[in-house]
Amino acid sequence: MSTSNLFGQLSMGKRSLTAQQAGMNVAGHNIANVNNEGYSRQRVNLEAQHPLKSRFGAGVDLQSVERLADGFVNKRLLSEQSRSGALELREQGLRRLEVVFNEVEGRGLRSALNAFWDSWGRLANHPEAEIYRAELITTAKELAKQIAEASADLGGVRRELNGRLAERVARVNQLSAQLAGQNTLVQRVERGAGEANDVRDAREATLNELARLVQIDWYEDNDHQVNVAVGNGWPLVSGRRANPLEASHQNEDAGMFSLRGIDAKGISRDLTGQLRSGELEELVRLRDETVVEFSTKLDKLASELAFKVNRLHATGTGLNSSTRALNSSFAFKPDALGKPVPFLTDGVFRVNLVGERNELLETYEVGIQAGKDTVGDIVKRINETVGDPKPFEAVLNKDGSVSLKSTGPQRIVLGEDETGFATVMGFNNFFESLRGAKDFRVSPRLVENPNLISTGKGLLPGDNQVALAIQGLQFRPTMDNDSTTFDEYYNGVMVQLGLLVQRSRADRQSQQLTQDQFRKLRDEISSVNMDEEVADLVQYQRGFDAAAKFIRTVDEMTKTVIDM
C-alpha cells in the first residue's frame, strides 16, 4: 500500500470525525432546546463521498444541517393565529361588558327599575303622603344613577379598547422591525452557504405573534426574505424595511384612533376598515360596533323611559302644582330656533288658569302643527290664544328656553297635552335627559320639592290618575313600536349579551381544538423527542470513537511503511 493511499485514508477518517462530531453537536443542540416551544429540531444530512480514482469508497460528506418543518402545516398554523387572537379578545371584551350590566346582590339596573315602579305604586295608594314622595325620589335617583353610571362605564370600556389598540399598534411595529432585521440575518447567513435554521425559527415565531395581532399575507422571495402585507395589500414588511402603522387621531370620532400605514415616503393610508382578522381588527370592532350598539340600546331605554314618564307627568298635578311661573328645562340653540320643534304630534296644548283657591278659571287650547311650527311660532300662538288683557304670557328667553308667567294674581297649571310640547320643553318633567343615558337625572325641582310630583289630573285631594298611569308603564308595551315593555326590552338586551358571550366562548373553544390539531401535527414533525436524540447521541459517539480508532490504525500503518 502506497503512502499516498494511506494519507487519503487519514483524510477520510478526518471527514468521518467531523461528520460524527457535527451529528453530536446537532443532537446536543436539539436536547438543549427540548422545552423551546418555537424550536424546530434539526438533523445532519450525511452523504457518501463519490470516489474519483479509487475502487473503494471515499468516506462521508457533511451535506447540510436540515431544519425539520412541514411548510404547509406551519403556514396553516400561522393562518389560524389571527382568528384565535380575535376570538380570545372578543370573549374578553364581552365579559367586560357583562360587568357593566351585572346585577350583584340586588343592585343593578333591573333592580332599580323594579324599585322605581314599586315606588309609583305605593305613591298611587297614598298620593298625599310625603313619605312616599320622598321614597319615590330616592328610588328614581338610584335608577338615574344606575343608567348614567352604566353609560359612563360603557364609555370607559370604549376608551380602554382604544388604549389597547394603541398598545397593539406599537407591538406590531416592534415585530415588523424585528422581522426586517431577521430577514437581513437570514439572507446574510445563507448567502455564505450556511444554514440559518435558528434564525428561521425566530422569524417564524415573530410571524406567528404578528399574525395573532393582525391577519397577514406573506411569502418568502428568492432572496430568502419574508414580505408581509396587511389589509388590502399594504406592505408592512418589504425585505429589510418595515413600514410602521400609526394610531392616528385622524378620525371623525373624537379621541378614537384610526389605523394608518406610513410608507417610506411618509404617505399614509387609512387601514382601519381594511383589517380582516386578528386582535387589531377585533379591538376596532368591539370599540366601534359592539360597545356602541349596547350604548345605543341603553340610550334608547333611557330616552323612551324619560319620554313616556314625562308625557304623563308633565300634564299632571302635585300637592301644590299651581305656580305663577313655569320655566322649561330645555333650551333651543340659536341654529335650532328657526327649525320645527322635534318630536311633536299634531294636536292641542292646554294651559289651565286657576284662582287663589285652586279653582279652575279658564282653559286655553293652543293648536300645534308637528313638523312645521317653530318654538317662536308656538310662543306667539299661546299669546294670541290668551289674548288681551293677558292673565299670563309665554316668553321665548334669550337662551332659547320658554317661560309661562302669570301677570296677575292668578296661577297656571298645565292641562292635557296631545302634542308632547310640554314634555319636549321640560315644563313639568320627572326626568331630564338631553343625550340619552349620559345625562339622565331626576328633575332638580322635584328633588328639591317632592310635593311637585304629579300624581293626579286635577287639583282635588286624593287624585292618583297620573301615578297609576306611570306605574302601569311597567307592564304596558311602549318600546319598539309599542311591542315591548321596558322590562322586556332590558331583559332582551341582557339575553343578547349573554348569547354573545356564550357564542364567543364556543367559537373560541372550537378554534382552540383546530389550532391544537395543527400544533400536534407540527410537533410530530418538528418537536424534539428526547429518547430519539439520546439514541442519536450514542450512535454519533460510537461513530466518532470508531473514526478515531480508524485514524489511529492508519497512523500506525503509515509509520510502518515509512520505517520500511
* Nearest of 558, 546, 542, 543 to residue 10 by alpha carbon: 558
pLDDT band at 54 (very low <50, low <70, confident <90, very high): low
CB within 8 A of 199, min separation 6: which ones? 182, 185, 186, 189
pLDDT for the residue 4: 55
Q: Which residue has the cell 370607559?
A: 156
Q: What number is the average pLDDT over the span 46-59? A: 73
Over the stretch 99-137, which tens digit does the pLDDT of each residue have? Answer: 998 877 667 899 999 999 999 999 999 999 999 999 999
pLDDT above 80 for 472: yes
Over the stretch 268-286, which tens digit does the pLDDT of each residue have? Answer: 899 998 998 999 999 999 9
Lowest mean pLDDT among 161-175, 317-331, 398-412: 317-331
pLDDT above 80 for 2: no
pLDDT for the residue 55: 66
pLDDT above 90 for 71: no
pLDDT for the residue 126: 93
Q: How many helices (H) and strands (E) does the chain have?
A: 13, 17
Q: What number is the average pLDDT over the span 428-433? A: 91
Q: What percent of the chain has pLDDT over 70?
A: 98
pLDDT for the residue 329: 87
Over the stretch 200-254, which tens digit does the pLDDT of each residue have? Answer: 999 999 999 999 999 999 998 888 899 999 988 899 999 999 999 999 887 777 7
What is the SS3 assignment for 371-411?
Answer: CCCCHHHHHHHHHHHHCCCCCEEEEECCCCCEEEEECCCCE
pLDDT above 90 for 287: yes
pLDDT above 70 for 53: no
* Nearest of 138, 120, 136, 115 to residue 465 by alpha carbon: 120
**Residue 517, H or E segment:** helix 486-526
- Could you give the 3-state DSSP secondary structure of residue 306? helix
CB atoms within 10 A of CB 310: 26
- Looking at residue 475, what DSSP letter applies? G
Look up residue 500 and give its three cell numbers. Answer: 354573545
Overall residue count recorded for the chain in this entry: 564
Contact call for residues 374 and 339 (beta carbons, < 8 A): yes
Over the stretch 35-52, which tens digit does the pLDDT of each residue have? Answer: 988 898 989 988 887 766
Torsion of CA 141, 144, 149, 151, to 10 degrees: -170
Cα separation of 496 and 408, whole Å? 57
State the number of CA atoms in the 13 A half-sphere of 36 facing the CB.
16
- Could you give the 3-state DSSP secondary structure of residue 54? coil
**What distance lies between CA 178 and its chain's CA centroid?**
27
pLDDT above 70 for 13: yes
Cα separation of 49 and 9, whole Å? 13
pLDDT for the residue 3: 54
Strands 411-417 and 60-67: unpaired
Over the stretch 480-492, which tens digit does the pLDDT of each residue have? Answer: 888 999 999 999 9
Verify cis geometry, omega within 30 degrees of 0, for the bond prior to 127: no
Q: What number is the average pLDDT over the span 182-196? A: 85
- Could you give the 3-state DSSP secondary structure of residue 331? coil
Taking each helix axis from N to C end, the angle separating 291-314 and 71-100, rounded to the nearest 10 degrees, works out to 20
Q: List the beta bridge partners of residue 362.
A: 353
pLDDT above 60 for 495: yes
pLDDT above 90 for 457: no
pLDDT for the residue 15: 86
Cα separation of 153 and 31, whole Å? 51
Q: What number is the average pLDDT over the span 421-443? A: 90
Cα separation of 429 and 443, whole Å? 7
Q: What number is the average pLDDT over the span 418-434? A: 90
